[in-house]
Amino acid sequence: MTNILGRIRQHPVPTEAIGDSGVHYDTPPRMFELLLDRNMNYSSGVYARGDEDLDGAQIAKMDKVAAWLDLKPGARLLDVGCGWFGPALYLAERYGVRVTGVTLSPVQREYGLAWAERRGLRDAVHIDVCSVLSMPYPAESFDATMFLESIIHMPPKRQIFERCCALLRPGGRIFVQESDYDRDSKREKYLGDRGNREVDQAFGYTMDMVSAGRMQLEMEEAGLVPYGLENISRDYVLTLTQWLVNLDAHADEMRALSERAYLMLRRYLMIALATYRSGHTVCHMITAEKSGNL
């Protein structure tokens, strides 16, 4: 890790790089093709050894999600905050599931559907541009639901889990991977921190981080019984580091695409790395099951 960090060029990034209106996920996808792994995961990978490359760590993460959700061929998977749809397409291809994705970004929807077409998976997928609480699906439409680092943008956690619980069949599972505060009682203090405010502005999306304990509590109250939690904070530090290495490796092309987006991404990743290193931000995988199927 020290070696990787040592390879990141140090240069000052002006605070003006953080805009107040950037809709982060509508940024040209090419920026993210250069930044992320080949499956376009904009969420932490999983490093069993610590020296895996980004592609390998993201595949390990997606296989872990599949195991925790007990995905079987034909299962109906809901991906809330689906990004460019890379994780969903991997799961559709590798595990034979049918995936419905939800995003606020029309750019991501268009990108995901074109990618599905190229991979011969068009019939296995569906993507809607809508907000989480407006998901238009009938009750018990899904066997599994995942939130890969998207629920941070969605404040009413209890309502969201209640909606997802209604959409799951009894015994269906939900998987949440998210950055958390290290303790619930510090939330108000952390919300006022400068880095937090900058990231809020940079994304042009709501940021609503909670602790893992709070997340589980909201799941329980919504009828989702937690059965697994894993701390992947070290994995996130490695992921952020590898994203920064990619950012530097492709700096010229990224800056030509959008100087502003490049600077914003760089600053965001540095802030995220600093908050992880401080120990105040951590990352968890949490799985729960809709009760009533024993």
Single out the residue of 17, 18, 25, 237 in contact with ligand SAM (rule: CB under 6 A). Answer: 25
82 lines the binding site for ligand SAM (CB under 6 A): yes
> Which of 29, 81, 112, 195 forms a contact with ligand SAM (CB under 6 A)?
81
Task: Report the alpha-carbon distance of residue 19 to residue 152 in Å, rounded.
Answer: 20
CB of 212 to ligand SAM, least distance (A): 18
The separation between the first and the last C-alpha atoms of the chain, rounded to the nearest angstrom, is 45
| 59's tokens | 């595949």
Q: Minimum distance from CB of 9 to ligand SAM (Å)?
A: 25
**Does residue 276 bind ligand SAM (CB under 6 A)?**
no
Per rule CB under 6 A, count of chain residues that contact ligand SAM: 22
183 versus 230: smaller Cβ distance to ligand SAM: 230
* CA–CA separation, 27 and 142 (whole Å): 30
For residues 177-203, one letter each, b for 16 or more C-beta atoms within 10 angstroms of the residue's C-beta and e for the rest, the string is: bbbbbeeeeeeeebeeeebbebbbebb
Checking DSSP bridges between strand 224-231 and strand 142-148, what pairing results, if any?
unpaired
User: Given the DSSP bridges, would you call strands 168-181 and 142-148 parallel, antiparallel or unpaired?
Assistant: parallel
Task: Kindly state whether residue 58 participates in binding ligand SAM, applying the rule CB under 6 A.
Answer: no
- If binding is defined by CB under 6 A, does position 43 make contact with ligand SAM? yes
Smallest separation, CB 20 to ligand SAM (Å): 18
Q: Which residues bind ligand SAM (CB under 6 A)?
A: 25, 41-43, 80-83, 87, 102-105, 108, 131-132, 148-150, 153-154, 205
